[in-house]
């Protein structure tokens, strides 16, 4: 987090006229929310990638189905949304609220971007090995640095740059550790398609994160955490509709029955794989949007890249994959980069709190002088 982007718990002085309940959180409560969202992102992404690879390995071949399950489980998010206090009850901004047509436009635009991004990732995961896929995905940090600079006025400190470099290097180490460059049966032309699609997906994903942060800060200006779930629900609804249209327009829906019958682990496993993938992607998405709302899009992207180092550990437990020395080294480097970024956020938090205390002390002295 840069000097000009304060933790949300300390933004009370910088966001004029918007008294947000989240601003009233004390330090440990804010860090608890951040930790929960980090767990959602890392755990959800690791599980969803493993299930997605399992789907392809066991006979699944529908790119649109792999795209659809990434957003189809959004209705389960209505449960926590109903448990949260209504955002309208806490809105006391002196500024007029964002009109409905702009809110709908934001959700539709982001939903279409999400659908396209999910499709690109599905193609990449189908045609590339896990190593190449992880290596290309790590480039999203570089893309995010550019988009955050132009869209979110994000600046870099030495610690942030150190974190970005270390996490990218960690993902690259894991990628280079895999001997197989392409899955069996994948031609050179399909490999190129997978490479280009994954690279484009990484860029589009970074753009999506920056646009979400911009929407939260400049357009929606909502005060409760329910805005995170609302964003995820309605953009996922749009993305799901786009994916369903693509599934039927491409004709892949005709092959789904045969795909389920011929699934190596059986029809029940086929259904459970798709359902599990859908649920874990939603958990991951909540973590992504939550970190954007609580911190910044760059922080969300850094944690997303960290999960690329965590996924091999999950594969070690689930699939009994070999854990080499290179993978262990990559994990340690990733943890170092993660700690570097968290420490930068801690430093910024202390600076803002000291500035706030000094401002409050100045107001007290001024009041005493006036009396």
Helix axis angle for 158-176 and 325-370, nearest 10°, is 160
Tell me what pLDDT residue 219 has.
Answer: 81
Cβ-based neighbour number of residue 233 at 10 Å: 21
pLDDT value of position 222? 64
pLDDT for res 87: 47
Structure tokens at 175: 């990628």
Per-residue pLDDT of 151-161, as tens digits, reads: 877 777 787 77
Please give the pLDDT value at position 21.
Answer: 46
Residue 139, SS3 per DSSP: coil
Secondary structure percentages of the chain, helix, strand, coil, to 5: 80, 0, 20
Half-sphere exposure of 5 (CA within 13 A, CB side): 24
> What is the predicted pLDDT for the residue at 276?
94
For position 159, what pLDDT does the model report? 79
pLDDT of residue 86: 53
What is the C-alpha to C-alpha distance for residues 371 and 365, in angstroms, rounded to an integer? 10
Give dist(CA 45, CA 47) in Å, integer.
Answer: 5
- Tell me what pLDDT residue 67 has: 94
**What are the residue ranges in the chain where pLDDT is below 70?**
1-26, 84-98, 129-132, 135, 141-142, 171, 174-184, 222-225, 296-298, 301, 308-309, 311-313, 315-316, 318-324, 327, 345, 349, 370-371
pLDDT score at 88: 47
DSSP state letter for 60: -
Q: What is the pLDDT of residue 89?
A: 45
Residue 240, CB half-sphere, CA atoms under 13 Å: how many? Answer: 16
pLDDT in tens, 179-195: 555 666 777 788 888 88
């Amino acid at each position: 987090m840069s000097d000009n982007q304060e933790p949300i718990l300390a933004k009370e002085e910088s966001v004029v006229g918007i008294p947000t309940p989240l601003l009233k959180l004390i330090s440990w409560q804010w860090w608890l929310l951040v930790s929960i969202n980090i767990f959602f992102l890392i755990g959800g992404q690791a599980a969803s990638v493993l299930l997605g690879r399992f789907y392809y390995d066991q006979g699944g071949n529908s790119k649109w189905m792999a795209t659809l399950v990434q957003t189809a489980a959004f209705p389960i998010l209505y449960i926590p949304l109903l448990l949260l206090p209504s955002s309208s009850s806490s809105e006391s901004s002196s500024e007029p609220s964002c009109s409905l047509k702009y809110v709908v436009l934001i959700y539709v635009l982001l939903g279409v971007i999400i659908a396209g991004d999910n499709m690109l990732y599905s193609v990449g995961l189908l045609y590339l090995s896990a190593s190449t896929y992880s290596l290309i995905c790590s480039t999203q940090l570089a893309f995010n640095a550019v988009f955050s600079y132009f869209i979110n006025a994000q600046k870099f400190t030495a610690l942030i740059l150190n974190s970005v470099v270390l996490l990218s290097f960690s993902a690259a180490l894991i990628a280079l550790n895999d001997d197989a460059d392409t899955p069996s049966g994948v031609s050179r032309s399909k490999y190129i398609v997978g490479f280009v699609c994954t690279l484009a997906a990484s860029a589009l994903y970074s753009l999506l994160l920056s646009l979400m942060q911009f929407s939260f800060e400049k357009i929606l200006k909502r005060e409760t955490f329910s805005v995170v779930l609302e964003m995820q629900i309605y953009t996922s609804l749009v993305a799901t509709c786009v994916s369903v249209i693509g599934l039927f327009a491409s004709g892949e829906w005709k092959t789904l029955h045969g795909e389920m019958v011929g699934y190596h682990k059986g029809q029940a496993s086929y259904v459970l794989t798709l359902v599990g993938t859908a649920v874990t992607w939603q958990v991951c998405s909540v973590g992504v949007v939550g970190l954007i709302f609580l911190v910044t899009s760059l922080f969300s992207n850094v944690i997303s890249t960290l999960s690329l180092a965590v996924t091999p550990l999950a594969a070690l437990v689930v699939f009994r994959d070999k854990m080499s020395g290179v993978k262990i080294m990559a994990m340690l480097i990733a943890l170092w980069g993660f700690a570097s970024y968290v420490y930068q956020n801690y430093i910024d938090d202390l600076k803002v709190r000291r500035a706030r205390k000094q401002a409050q002390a100045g107001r007290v002295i001024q009041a005493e002088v006036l009396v």
